[in-house]
Chains A and B, each alone.
Chain A
């Protein structure tokens, strides 16, 4: 797109039909909206928050790998998930406040809703899988659905976010294909390493 440095003025005397004016006005409004939404999601998610979530995943994976009872293992990851959500929410709210943006403005709301849907599906599926003795596939399913949440909600954010989501989905698929004994390793690689790498990328490229 090349823009002339001078204000383009419509040729004098050339009649602009109401249709053309209408189309132009609509196009202008769409452009403003697109720019605003692009700019607003520019600073929405906190990269450092994502890094922090990644850091907490390593001790969680270590604890989980030492857990002898299924219930303890589950509890470790459940607490880890709650801590992760709290960190993510707090750091993103802080970043939005610093930028004087509403956390639940239009892009924020879309992001949250789209993110929450696959997450809810994951939470619901966890219950029958756990009680049905299929806990071995939980790491793969969590990674896959967590990735889905970022891959879809990422459409309303900077491009790094959906890419991170796709990487989580790949990790989840690999975990489902791998032996169940590697579950904690995949959890550490996904929720630990992927978060840290992409969090740092977001922080560096998109202001914190």
Chain B
């Protein structure tokens, strides 16, 4: 798969699998990374951790939910609704693939 105008000596993209656009985006990558080291995080935890707005977080969390990378559950804590996110098995695999991809990119440029 050679894109016109991209001539490289060691093109990583022709060897590595296609970049996962879904978690390439910063905030979505942040959500997945944060959930990888926590069993579950609430909407408020994620918002604070990633230093973002309600709207931004919910848009990106929904995209990940639609892809089934994260699972979302709504419970009640007293009378307050609480939204909790967890990483699914396929979300974890996606993060692992992404990490491998980044490592491969670094190796490729180092060798070049």
Contact = CB atoms under 8 A, between A and B. Distances in A.
A3 interface: yes
Contacts of B110: 22
A42 B38 contact: yes
Given A5-B56, A36-B36, A13 B26 contact: no
Contacts, number: 99
Interface in A26-50: 26, 28-29, 31-32, 35-36, 38-40, 42-43
Contacts of B24: 7
Contact of B49 (A7, A24, A29, A42): A42
Given A5-B56, A29-B102, A99-B38, A207 B45 contact: yes
Contacts of B27: 3
A79 to B, nearest CB: 36
Contact of B30 (A8, A16, A31, A100): A31
Nearest to A13: B5
Contact of B105 (A21, A38, A99, A207): A21
B3 interface: yes
A38 B12 CA distance: 30
A15 B109 contact: no
Contacts of B89: none
B4 interface: yes
B25 A22 contact: no
A28 B60 contact: no
B33 interface: yes
B71 interface: no
B38 A39 contact: yes
B108 to A, nearest CB: 7
Interface residues of A, number: 35
B25 A8 contact: yes
Nearest to B52: A3
A22 B26 contact: no
A3 B57 CA distance: 10
Nearest to B39: A100
A18 interface: yes
B33 A18 contact: no
A68 interface: no
B106 A22 contact: yes
10 contacts: A3-B25, A13-B4, A25-B103, A29-B106, A35-B29, A38-B34, A38-B49, A39-B33, A42-B49, A98-B39
Given A18-B8, A42-B38, A101-B39, 18 more contacts: A1-B51, A5-B60, A16-B6, A22-B105, A24-B105, A25-B106, A26-B106, A28-B29, A29-B102, A31-B29, A31-B30, A32-B99, A35-B29, A35-B49, A36-B36, A36-B37, A39-B34, A43-B38
